[in-house]
């Protein structure tokens, strides 16, 4: 699975990490839906940290389609609300 973090580039992650990331994605979507700024910030930080820790960076010149696009660290709750789809940020 290829995940792009806006402003940082892409990371390749093994499919076995999908359940953990989907759990964080679900928690992020719930915080955004509830308008809970504190939970949103905490969950976004946790999600990004896990993607960084579990993924291997792809070269900047790699032309690989992303399976998911995550907002950058400083993204507002309103910005993420606009990015959320029916399945959250990470499909699956």
CA distance 2 to 51: 10
* Per-residue model confidence as pLDDT tens digits over 49-82: 999 999 999 998 887 899 999 999 989 998 888 8
* Per-residue model confidence as pLDDT tens digits over 11-46: 999 999 999 999 999 999 999 999 999 999 999 999
Q: How far is CA 14 from CA 2, 11, 19, 55, in A?
A: 9, 10, 11, 8
């Amino acid at each position: 699975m290829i995940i792009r973090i806006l402003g940082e580039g892409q990371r390749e992650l093994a499919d076995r990490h999908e359940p953990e990331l989907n759990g964080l994605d679900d928690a992020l979507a719930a915080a955004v839906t509830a308008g809970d700024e504190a939970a949103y910030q905490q969950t976004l930080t946790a999600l990004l940290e896990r993607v960084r820790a579990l993924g291997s960076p792809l070269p900047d010149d790699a032309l690989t389609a992303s399976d998911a696009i995550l907002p950058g660290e400083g993204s507002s709750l309103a910005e993420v609300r606009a990015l959320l789809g029916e399945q959250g940020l990470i499909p699956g």
